[in-house]
Each structure stands twice: as C-alpha cells, then as structure tokens.
Structure 1
C-alpha cells in the first residue's frame, strides 16, 4: 500500500542582487533600492519590514564602504526573500583581513554602533567567507 500523497505548496525564493560603488553614494543607493525591491515584493516603503531592512542595509553598506573598501572594487547587496518565512540581507565586499566585530563603542564616540543595531534588528547575523575573495555579512529576519 502506498502512503497518501499530500500536496505541498512550492516554496518561492525571490532574489535581488546588485553591485554598488564603494562610496557613500553607493551605500545610500543600496538602501534605497532595497526599499524599492521590498515594495515590489509587497512590503511598502512606510511598513515596518521596509524600515528594518533599510536600517540593516544602511549599516552594513556603510561598513562595507568604510571598512571593507578596496580601491576599484564594488560591494554587493543581495536580498533573498521567502514570503512568509525569511528575508536574508547579504552585503559583500572584497576585503578579507578586516572582519567586523560586535563591540561596545566608547561612550562619546560618534561611530561604532552599526553592528549593535544589526544585532538588535535581525533575528540572527553572521560573517561568511565570500568566494573567490572577501567576506559577506549576512543578516536574517524571520517573517
């Protein structure tokens, strides 16, 4: 006797990938295009998910431009969206020797809080090696 067949809905993963110049302008454009892509996927600009992703992309892109910049090399943003399940934000750069760390900034410092924000906003985050060279900072949001 064969077991009864259950119909499962297909899992659709939507992916957006774009390279940007390693400049403040490129970081700003990455944030804006991430929000635009989320809007195309049904999450409007004024929604909570859009605001959260915009903040995460802004912080990770700023880090890629400031600390991961290699002259003549771009950084890359990838959004992977599984509706109702997961949104993954990957920001990749080509610098391997400078890996971000979650540290408490000096109390009067104007910088150093980006990864603390990512840690607070994301369900989880990690740093993974990028092939062929570099690193990717990945932030995941459970939906």
Structure 2
C-alpha cells in the first residue's frame, strides 16, 4: 500500500528537466590599474580618518564610563594613596571626563590629518610607480 502511495506522489511531482545554461558563461577580463585619481584618494582617506576619529572619541568615552561605573578610579586612588603615603592623590582631577574626551579628540584630529595626508601621498606615489612599471594587473570576471 505504501509503495502505491509513494508512486502516486512521485507522479504528481513536476518532472525535472536538465537545466540549460542561463546565458553566456562567465567572461574573464584582465585590466591594468594605471592611475589613481588624487581627489578620489584624498576624499576616501579623509572619510576613513573621520571614521577613525569617531571611533576613538566614542570608544574613549565608553571606556571612561565603564571605568567610572566599575570603580576602577576609586581603586586607583586608594592604591596611589598607599604607595605615595598620602590620601591627597585624586585621579579624577587628572582624568576628568572633559579632559579625557578632549585628549581623545585631539589625538583623533591629529590622526585624521595624518590619514588624509598619507592617502594623498599614496596616490601620488602609486601614480609615479605606475608610470614606470605600467600599473597593476587586475583580473575581473563577469558572473550572473
């Protein structure tokens, strides 16, 4: 009985035909990168530097808040007081939230400038090297 039922179910399934290829096969193309636009490299490196700036400032702020919530600063104050022999040491006066985020912003701005300038320098150096060597060979394929 189950064989007959299985045969009836198989008969109701649509017949699968061998699939024909859907269009042309993937075509491979080899190209040479002989020029990097200076302004494109400058814009891209600026955006990467800006992303780095945001990550540094937000990361520093979050770490500072975690340190405050977990009581690390109070522990550091007590350890420093024991080592120095006086309880007048206060890490919060040195590392307040404003000073900490301000220092992180200053470091982020310096990194932003350095990353932007380095991106521009890399574009100029690549263009000079591509004139000498003919560029970088890159292979592409067209897949659908």
TM-score with structure 1 setting the length: 0.26
Higher RCO by CA contacts (8 Å cutoff, separation 6 or greater): 2
The structure having more radius of gyration, on CA atoms, is: 2
Higher share in strand: 1
